[in-house]
């Protein structure tokens, strides 16, 4: 793009440095907003976010404030989409909700491994070999089948009791004199 319009390497480096400064500024701004949102969630108390207490509820039920009812600070849409496209997932492709394409600066599997140095590559290979030996050392599991069996109603006199203790019945499986069926 720059070369086709007659640009120089110095101009390209200048643009790249400007983009890097802008990107670092946006990352710092996003981190500040996340910190502010933590304090908004705490609702202005002097309690730091990691020492939050729950809202008192009946029966000692622990309930923390519902984050979905708060108005949290956020970046403008274009800025947020830029950070999302660079660091989380690709926004230009077909949207796959379960396995989205990684962002521009996200490296996984082979894309990450090919950028490792020789020491790190040797360490990863040694860890994989150790995992394989540990998998082989695991005991073989015996095959099993999950099954369901009908309950035998003849063995227990109270197996299908539906009566209440205060309501006598002629059902021999119920003990009308007991408080428990």
Lowest mean pLDDT among 27-31, 93-97, 159-163: 159-163
- For 100-151, the pLDDT digits (tens) are 777 778 888 877 888 888 999 999 999 999 999 999 988 887 777 788 888 8
* Residue 50 contacts residue 61 (beta carbons within 8 Å): no
Which residues, 6+ apart, have CB-to-CB distance to 42 below 8 Å?
A: 48, 49, 52
Paired with 56 in beta bridges are: 62
| pLDDT (0 to 100) of residue 41 | 75
What count of other Cβ atoms lies within 10 Å of the Cβ of residue 38? Answer: 14
Between 95 and 176, where is the model more confident? 95
Q: What percent of the chain has pLDDT over 90?
A: 20
- For 50-61, the pLDDT digits (tens) are 555 555 666 666
pTM over 0.85: no
Q: CA 31 → CA 28, 35, 52, 66, 96, distances in Å?
A: 5, 6, 20, 22, 27
Paired with 55 in beta bridges are: 63
CA 55/CA 135 separation, integer angstroms? 46
DSSP state of 8: -
Residue 49 has pLDDT above 70, yes or no: no
């Amino acid at each position: 793009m720059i070369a086709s319009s007659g640009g120089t390497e110095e101009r390209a480096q200048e643009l790249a440095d400007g983009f890097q400064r802008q990107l670092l500024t946006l990352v710092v701004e996003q981190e500040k907003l996340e910190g502010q949102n933590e304090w908004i969630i705490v609702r202005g108390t002097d309690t730091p976010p990691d020492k939050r207490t729950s809202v008192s509820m009946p029966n000692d039920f622990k309930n923390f404030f519902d984050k979905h009812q708060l108005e949290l600070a956020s970046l403008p849409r274009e800025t947020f989409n830029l950070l999302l496209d660079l660091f989380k997932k690709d926004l230009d492709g077909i949207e796959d909700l379960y396995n989205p394409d990684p962002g521009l600066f996200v490296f996984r599997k082979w894309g990450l491994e090919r950028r490792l140095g020789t020491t790190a590559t040797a360490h990863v290979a040694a860890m994989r070999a150790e995992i394989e030996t540990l998998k082989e050392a695991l005991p073989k599991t015996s095959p099993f089948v999950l099954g369901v069996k009908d309950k035998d109603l003849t063995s227990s006199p109270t197996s299908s009791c539906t009566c209440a203790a205060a309501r006598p019945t002629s059902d021999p499986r119920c003990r009308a004199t007991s408080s428990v069926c």
